[in-house]
Amino acid sequence: MAAVLQIKDLVKVYPSGTRGIDGISLDVHRGEFVVLIGLSGSGKSTLLRCINRLVEPTSGSIVFDGADVTGASGPELRRIRRRIGMIFQQFNLVRRTSVLSNTLAGRLGYRTTWRTIASRPSALDVIAAFENLGRVGIADKAYARADALSGLDPATSHSVMKYLEEINKKDGITVICSLHFLSLARRYGTRVIALKGGKVAFDGKPADIDERRFKEIYGEDAVEVEIGPERSTPQPMSATDAALLAMAEDTGHGPVPDIKT
């Protein structure tokens, strides 16, 4: 199977001299659910941000579905970015506007002028509290990135991961997600890539991460902490969740991105 994402000899050196990424090479195949793990500062977010050039690599190459990401600019780079959905750890939402406007912002490259003029009525707007902002971002990009579960409680974390799992399995959408909990990586990921000091320390199946490998990645004094269990019984859907789900599933704004990071 041909790789949808090819990264070769990727290096990112920050102005301070810190090497955020230090010679990473890897291929991601279409339909994989890849989980990035590692200590804070290991290079996970830098790698994800390099994929669509939110962070400029110092050297190396990134090829997405045959397109040279590192060499692209202008309209070509925007075209590539429209196919790589992203959920930000810091949400990156415009707080002074509505949930609907934030949600549709990620699809601006696909919306026609007529659809923009004939926008949905404001009655569909939902005011989101801080803890719901991550879910707005998920609806915006049709679902996944950096620490996509940042700030979410265990039950909601499982709900988000199940949604990512669903679009991965049903739609064949490639997912690359940074997580801090190995229990979630084992439950949802098909492949785990561990980073340490900007380098790949492990690349394989989630089940292959035993105690020895865990300590190699996180240190001898590290202790694995598990996130809470999944809900055993269905919970009522809130008005906010229902509105976000409806917006996320609306097919009127063009195709969903090919890869989620």
- Provide the pLDDT for residue 252: 44
The arrangement of strands across the sheet holding 3-13 comes to 19-29, 3-13, 59-64, 67-68
Q: How many domains does the chain have?
A: 1
Alpha carbons within 13 angstroms on the beta-carbon side of residue 231 total 14
Select the more confidently predicted residue: 153 or 191.
191
Tens digit of pLDDT for each residue in 126-143? 333 333 434 434 443 333
Section 155-162 average pLDDT = 80
Residue numbers of the domain that contains 136:
3-260
The one-letter amino acid at 37: I
Tens digit of pLDDT for each residue in 206-243? 999 988 888 889 887 777 767 666 655 555 555 555 55
Minimum mean pLDDT among 118-122, 188-192, 239-243: which range? 118-122
Beta-bridge partners for 177: 35
C-alpha–C-alpha distance, residues 87 and 162, integer Å? 16
Under DSSP, the state recorded for 30 is T
- Provide the pLDDT for residue 129: 34
CB neighbours of 250 closer than 8 A, spacing ≥ 6? none
Tens digit of pLDDT for each residue in 86-108? 776 555 555 666 655 655 555 55
Q: Residue 173: name the closest of 52, 65, 255, 258 by CA.
A: 258
Long-range contact list for 197-201, CB < 8 A, 24+ apart? 197/19, 197/22, 197/42, 197/43, 198/12, 198/19, 198/20, 198/21, 198/22, 198/23, 198/24, 198/42, 198/43, 198/46, 199/22, 199/23, 199/24, 199/43, 200/24, 200/25, 200/26, 201/38
- Provide the pLDDT for residue 230: 61
Select the more confidently predicted residue: 261 or 75.
75
Section 1-20 average pLDDT = 93
pLDDT tier at 202, thresholds 50, 70, 90:
very high
Tens digit of pLDDT for each residue in 61-73? 999 989 999 999 9
Is the CB of residue 261 less than 8 Å from the CB of residue 144?
yes
- Provide the pLDDT for residue 92: 54
Minimum mean pLDDT among 9-18, 154-163, 170-179: which range? 154-163
Task: Residue 183: give its domain's CATH number.
Answer: 3.40.50.300
The CB density around residue 71, as the number of other CB atoms within 10 Å, is: 11
Q: Taking the C-alpha atoms of 202, 35, 58 and 196 in order, what is their torsion angle to the nearest 10 degrees?
A: -40
